[in-house]
């Protein structure tokens, strides 16, 4: 009985020891993990508005934006989020880019914005570690909501202050989210992951789980 217990403990210790190796380094998952591009600012609102449209950004910054971004974020040059700025935005999506029209504002003048996109990183350096996988929701309601704020509340101390990348996979087959063909409302390391059922063409969202890349402590 003692021998059997010892073998069980040894096996458990062995599993714990090899699990990080089986997971691999975050840098081994470059096509699957998602981070941010640099910030881009190609226009100012001195004309009809601030036009940070994706096609023009690709022309002015060749090779800097991935073919199929999964998220977009905009902020003013002074650092205000779109919500904090309180302006009416004409367009903000991963196919068109970001457009604020002066004519839509009460004072006929937009802030000057800069934008960035969620993309798989092209390089990976540093001492990086995975968090565990988190799965706080299922798509039985409006979708699968794995928002970072909610994940922090439900898993205190488990996610670093400034995650560098995010990795989402299906819970059943571990298929990377970017390979499923589904559309995502949010997929970036500062907001988390959201798949809405209403955005899918043929079915509801798959159930996903997420993990983050953080500097190793």
pLDDT in tens, 197-214: 999 987 899 999 999 999
Statement: residue 22 has pLDDT above 90: no
Question: What is the chain's mean pLDDT, rounded?
Answer: 89
Token digits of residue 205? 């969202």
pLDDT in tens, 99-112: 999 999 999 999 99
pLDDT in tens, 63-83: 999 999 999 999 999 999 999
Cβ within 8 Å of residue 101, ≥6 positions away:
48, 49, 90, 110
pLDDT in tens, 111-169: 999 999 999 998 888 899 999 999 999 998 899 999 999 999 999 999 999 999 999 99
Q: How far apart are CA 184 and CA 205, in angstroms?
A: 9
144 and 170 together in one domain: yes
Token digits of residue 28? 């081994």
How would DSSP label each residue in the chain? -HHHHHHHHHHHHHHHHHHHHHH--GGGGTTT-BEE---B----TTSSEEEEEHHHHHHHSTTSS-SS-SEEEEEETTS-BHHHHTPPPSEEETTTEEEEEGGGSTTS-PPPEEEEEEE--S---SSEEE---B----TTSSEEEEEHHHHHHHSTTSS-SS--EEEEEETTT--BGGGS----SEEETTTEEEEEGGG-SSSPPPPEEEEEEEE--
Neighbours of 34 (CB within 10 A): 26
- Single out the residue in 77, 104, 119 at which a domain terminates: 119
Q: Has residue 15 been placed in a domain?
A: no
Q: How far apart are CA 38 and CA 16, in angstroms?
A: 37
130 and 210 together in one domain: yes
Q: Has residue 10 been placed in a domain?
A: no
Q: Has residue 179 been placed in a domain?
A: yes
Radius of gyration in angstroms for the set of CA atoms belonging to the chain, rounded to a whole number? 21
98 and 45 together in one domain: yes
Q: Please tell me the total count of domains within the chain.
A: 2
Predicted local confidence at residue 23, as pLDDT: 67
pLDDT in tens, 32-58: 999 999 999 999 999 999 999 999 999
Q: Point out which residues pair with 214 in neighbouring strands.
A: 129
- Single out the residue in 101, 119, 137 at which a domain terminates: 119
Predicted local confidence at residue 24, as pLDDT: 84
94 and 130 together in one domain: no
175 and 209 together in one domain: yes
130 and 211 together in one domain: yes
Q: Has residue 88 been placed in a domain?
A: yes
Q: What range does the domain containing 73 cover?
A: 35-119
115 and 187 together in one domain: no
Q: Has residue 50 been placed in a domain?
A: yes
- Single out the residue in 86, 119, 152 at which a domain terminates: 119
Q: How confident is the model at residue 21 (pLDDT cuts 50, 70, 90)?
A: very low
Q: Residue 143 in contact with residue 193, Cβ under 8 Å?
A: no
201 and 167 together in one domain: yes
């Amino acid at each position: 009985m003692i021998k059997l217990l010892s073998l069980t403990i040894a096996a458990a210790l062995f599993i714990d020891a090899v699990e990080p190796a089986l997971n691999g380094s975050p840098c081994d998952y470059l096509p699957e993990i998602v981070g941010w591009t640099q910030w881009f600012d190609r226009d100012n609102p001195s004309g009809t508005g601030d036009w940070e449209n994706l096609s023009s950004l690709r022309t002015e910054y060749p090779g800097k934006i991935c073919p199929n971004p999964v998220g977009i974020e905009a902020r003013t040059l002074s650092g205000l989020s779109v919500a904090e700025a309180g302006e009416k935005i004409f367009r903000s999506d991963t196919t068109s880019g970001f457009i604020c029209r002066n004519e839509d504002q009460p004072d006929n003048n937009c802030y000057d914005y800069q934008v960035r996109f969620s993309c798989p990183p092209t390089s990976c350096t540093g001492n990086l570690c995975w968090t565990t996988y988190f799965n706080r929701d299922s798509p039985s309601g409006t979708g699968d909501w794995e928002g970072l704020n909610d994940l922090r509340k439900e898993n205190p101390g488990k996610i670093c202050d400034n995650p560098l990348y995010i990795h989402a996979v299906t819970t059943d087959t571990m298929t990377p989210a970017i390979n499923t063909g589904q559309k995502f409302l949010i997929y970036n390391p500062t907001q988390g992951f959201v798949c809405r059922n209403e955005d899918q063409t043929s079915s509801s969202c798959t159930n996903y789980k997420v993990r983050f890349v953080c500097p190793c402590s």
